[in-house]
Amino acid sequence: VPATNYIYTPLNQLKGGTIVNVYGVVKFFKPPYLSKGTDYCSVVTIVDQTNVKLTCLLFSGNYEALPIIYKNGDIVRFHRLKIQVYKKETQGITSSGFASLTFEGTLGAPIIPRTSSKYFNFTTEDHKMVETLRVWASTHMSPSWTLLKLCDVQPMQYFDLTCQLLGKAEVDGASFLLKVWDGTRTPFPSWRVLIQDLVLEGDLSHIHRLQNLTIDILVYDNHVHVARSLKVGSFLRIYSLHTKLQSMNSENQTMLSLEFHLHGGTSYGRGIRVLPESNSDVDQLKSKDLESANLTANQHSDVICQSEPDDSFPNGILLCPPCWRSVARSRLTAASAS
């Protein structure tokens, strides 16, 4: 669209009751989720060179109209953001005509705006603003420590995972199963949710071939409707995924497995977002992890929950997932379906 001379307000100069345009680096965010009404909501906290933080509460009836943020460190541009003071804290909220652009925050990455709008203004001055924020953030903000690969996860940890969806299945009304991989192998065997193959959506032969590299994630409550809509084969970022190491003693042996849960609610940014194939993290996933995974997929045996586990560590530690709760839940599901 024809260039317009927008004025951008530094975050340390915001005043309640005004409508402003701002740039900032994402320090915290919640992926869009359904609010108590009919709108989608996203919470985004940004910071700029003034070291002032601003938390923004953004609402829209259209999921795609909210900022397309993939990780902390992304750079956002908000137009027509309303500033208000609530409980002595300055915050931003959407106003009529609100619009946003999002950019990858990595130094050297292509500056490609993310937006659902067909028309937007982006000038050489905007380009300079993004570059300047990238340079500033590279020395003033630490990289996202929450973004991990499966080979690096540990028990009792919350982290963000970039992965590909291989299969999905309904478990019960309050939980849903996602089978994913990222090309690396977990330090502990992954807990398995036993369900009938007919219930699982996905390429069963492909899943079986890669079973030693896949993990089962149970998502709960408000995330179930998002999980149902996901397409097998798509690339995902799952935020604030929780790991738990479960053990069960049997005949002087300890069985261990790593469970993965996406709990209900949106606290700590919990949620799921689909990543486009053009995303740099997806590029890295495809080129380095997924293509080489075939070489290691069949090199290790993985133990699914069974009556007589046959693989063990020294000192009597058996590697068998204690998934009795999910087995019972899945059998109930299968029984009700039949």
Range of the domain at 257: 157-281
Question: Where is average pLDDT lowest: 19-28, 122-131, 179-188, 289-298?
Answer: 289-298
Between CA 160 and CA 26 the distance in angstroms is 15
Q: Tell me: pLDDT of 223 over 80.
A: yes
Residue 240 belongs to a domain: yes
Residue 60 belongs to a domain: yes
Q: Tell me: pLDDT of 289 over 70.
A: no
- 168 and 248 share one domain: yes
Instruction: Write out the DSSP string of 92-108.
Output: EEEEEEEEEEEE--STT
Last residue within a domain, chosen from 237, 258, 281: 281
Residue 53 belongs to a domain: yes
Give the tens place of pLDDT for each residue, 36-69.
Answer: 888 999 999 999 999 999 999 999 999 999 999 9
Q: Read off φ and ψ for residue 150, nearest 5 degrees.
A: -60, -30
- 124 and 41 share one domain: yes
Question: Where is average pLDDT lowest: 78-87, 97-106, 119-128, 191-200?
Answer: 191-200
Between CA 157 and CA 197 the distance in angstroms is 30
pLDDT for the residue numbered 211: 86
Query: Where are the extended beta strands (E) located within 227-275?
Result: 235-250, 253-262, 271-275
Q: What separation in angstroms does the CA of 54 have from each of 35, 93, 144, 194, 288?
A: 21, 10, 19, 45, 37
- 112 and 192 share one domain: no
Total number of domains constituting the chain: 2
Residue 208 belongs to a domain: yes
- 26 and 58 share one domain: yes
Please state the rounded mean pLDDT for residues 108-113.
Answer: 92
pLDDT for the residue numbered 78: 98
Between CA 47 and CA 24 the distance in angstroms is 5
> Is the separation of the CB atoms in 300 and 186 below 8 Å?
no
User: In percent, how much of the chain has pLDDT > 70?
Assistant: 82
Between CA 176 and CA 217 the distance in angstroms is 8
- 277 and 163 share one domain: yes
Question: Which CATH number goes with the domain that contains 70?
Answer: 2.40.50.140
Q: What separation in angstroms does the CA of 102 have from each of 24, 79, 122, 148?
A: 10, 12, 12, 22
Residue 48 belongs to a domain: yes
Residue 313 belongs to a domain: no
User: In percent, how much of the chain has pLDDT > 90?
Assistant: 62
- 34 and 122 share one domain: yes
pLDDT for the residue numbered 251: 66
Between CA 25 and CA 27 the distance in angstroms is 6
Residue 295 belongs to a domain: no
